[in-house]
Each structure stands twice: as structure tokens, then as C-alpha cells.
Amino acid sequence: MADNGRKLFAVIGMGNFGSSIAKTIANAGGDVIAIDRNMLLIQELAETVPNAVCADSRDIELLRETGVQDADTVIVAMGSHLEDAVETILNLKELGVKHIISKANSTRYGYVMERIGADQVIEPENEMGQRIAISLMNPKISDIYQMNDDFAIMEIKAPELWVNHTMAQLNLRELYGVNVIGIRKPDQKRVDINVTGKTEIEAEDFLVIAADANKIATLNLD
């Protein structure tokens, strides 16, 4: 964990997927280490991700020098290179990393990664990197649908600070750029879209919101 008490993430592999995750976390003010053995890719990230390191993750000593072992979650974003991903995951396990997420370009690749120690395997399209990053930054987001690079619709558990307040009182649209477009009760699948200024949020509610994808990553949902 980072010294300031916030979670520390590390992303290994700066292709479209990995760089998207690293940039989104950095832009949201999160702590992230970006790692790739290609110096050109690292240089391209330098302005956005302050802690971008050129290192070969297949070399455990070089990997150790990046500080990756201190990360709360490491994302291995080299799904098209199975051998490299396998060596990297094995190194991360040896370094004691607690939570490893690995990208896989196929179900068969994913099976191998799970067998050697990946805690979670994902098979996303490149443009889904931002979606994963937002979920990491805000674990209370239970579901998210990325409309485009800047706009997302997601379901969240009602934050404690919002409970017992009406929509008019919260003024979420003006303050945070958040639009509550529906409310789902915990024992129901149906979403009530009849939301007005008088609608009051209850403790167990799930809110369907439309929001700026970058802003939602920084929104306090506790």
C-alpha cells in the first residue's frame, strides 16, 4: 500500500489496454506503477504517469526494483504473449503480491493463467481498460457500462453520505456531474426510473447513475 494509506496499483505491459488502465488511475489521482520493457512506451507515458518504469518483468530482480511487491493489486496486461505473462505471474507470486489480475486473449490462455496463480482473469477488448480502472478505484461500483471514453452508466451501492437525503438536497448533477436515472431495491431486479427531486435515497438502495467516467473515479462513494 502507498505511504499515504491509499491503494497502490501496478500495471505491467503498456499496450492499449495496460496504458489505458495506468492513465485512468493516474488521472483520477491514484497511485500506480506502469511497467514495460519498451522504453519508447514508457517515455510516452511519462507526462501522465509519474511512476513509469522501463523493466523486463520476466527478470525477477528487475521486477523487484520497480517496487511492484508493494502494490495492493497488479494487472498483467500482456494477454497476447502467454509465455511472458506466465513468467511475470510466477515472479509476482514469488515476490508475494497478494492480488494479481491478468489479461487473457483467449479462454485457453486464461485457464493457464489461473492455474499458475492469477486471482482474476479478464478477456476485455482494448477499449475496456478504462472500465476496469474505474472499478478498481471504486469497488462499490457493482456494474458499469462504458458508453464512450468520457461517459459511463453504472450501478452503485448508495453511499452512506447520500442516505436519507432527497435528490434535490444532494444536487448531484450540479456538484458532481452525476445523474441518478434509476433506483433498484436490494430484493428486486427491476429498476424504478421514476426519480424526481423529492425521491429520497434509502440505506440499501442501488443507484443507476450516468456520469463523466473520469469524475466518477474520484467521487467519494463511501
**Do 72 and 14 share a domain, yes or no?**
yes
> Which grid coordinates are listed for 122?
479478464
Q: Per the domain annotation, does 3 fall within a domain? A: no
For residue 39, what pLDDT band results from cuts at 50, 70 and 90?
very high
Question: Distances in Å between the alpha carbon of 93 and those of 37, 73, 99?
Answer: 20, 12, 9
**Do 44 and 123 share a domain, yes or no?**
yes
Q: Per the domain annotation, does 2 fall within a domain? A: no
Percent of the chain whose predicted confidence (pLDDT) is above 70: 81
Q: Per the domain annotation, does 222 fall within a domain? A: no
pLDDT exceeds 90 at position 135:
no
**Do 110 and 207 share a domain, yes or no?**
no
Could you tell me the CATH number of the domain that includes residue 15?
3.40.50.720
For residue 110, what pLDDT band results from cuts at 50, 70 and 90?
confident
Could you tell me the CATH number of the domain that includes residue 190?
3.30.70.1450
Q: Per the domain annotation, does 125 fall within a domain? A: yes
**Do 127 and 144 share a domain, yes or no?**
no
Q: Per the domain annotation, does 59 fall within a domain? A: yes
**Do 47 and 153 share a domain, yes or no?**
no
State the pLDDT at residue 148.
47
Q: Within 13 Å, how many C-alpha atoms sit on residue 70's CB side?
A: 14
Last residue of a domain, one of 112, 132, 152: 132
20 in helix, strand or coil?
helix
For residue 150, what pLDDT band results from cuts at 50, 70 and 90?
low
Considering only residues 135 and 26, tell me which one the structure prediction assigns the higher pLDDT. 26
Residue found by looking up cell 491503494 in the block:
7
pLDDT exceeds 60 at position 1:
no
pLDDT exceeds 80 at position 181:
yes
Q: Note the Cα 48 to chain centre separation in Å.
A: 16
CA distance 3 to 26: 16
Considering only residues 177 and 32, tell me which one the structure prediction assigns the higher pLDDT. 32
**Do 37 and 73 share a domain, yes or no?**
yes
Q: Per the domain annotation, does 76 fall within a domain? A: yes
pLDDT exceeds 50 at position 127:
no
**Do 52 and 123 share a domain, yes or no?**
yes
**Do 156 and 86 share a domain, yes or no?**
no
Considering only residues 99 and 125, tell me which one the structure prediction assigns the higher pLDDT. 99
183 beta partners: 192, 207
Q: Per the domain annotation, does 30 fall within a domain? A: yes
State the pLDDT at residue 147.
45
Structural domain span for residue 50: 8-132
As for how many domains the chain has, the answer is 2
161 beta partners: none
Strands lying side by side in the sheet with 31-36: 52-54, 31-36, 8-12, 73-76, 100-103, 120-122
State the pLDDT at residue 143.
56
**What pLDDT digit, counting tens, does each position of 55-91 carry?**
999 999 999 999 999 999 999 998 778 899 999 999 9
Q: Per the domain annotation, does 187 fall within a domain? A: yes
Considering only residues 146 and 25, tell me which one the structure prediction assigns the higher pLDDT. 25
**Do 18 and 103 share a domain, yes or no?**
yes
CA distance 155 to 141: 6
State the pLDDT at residue 126.
43
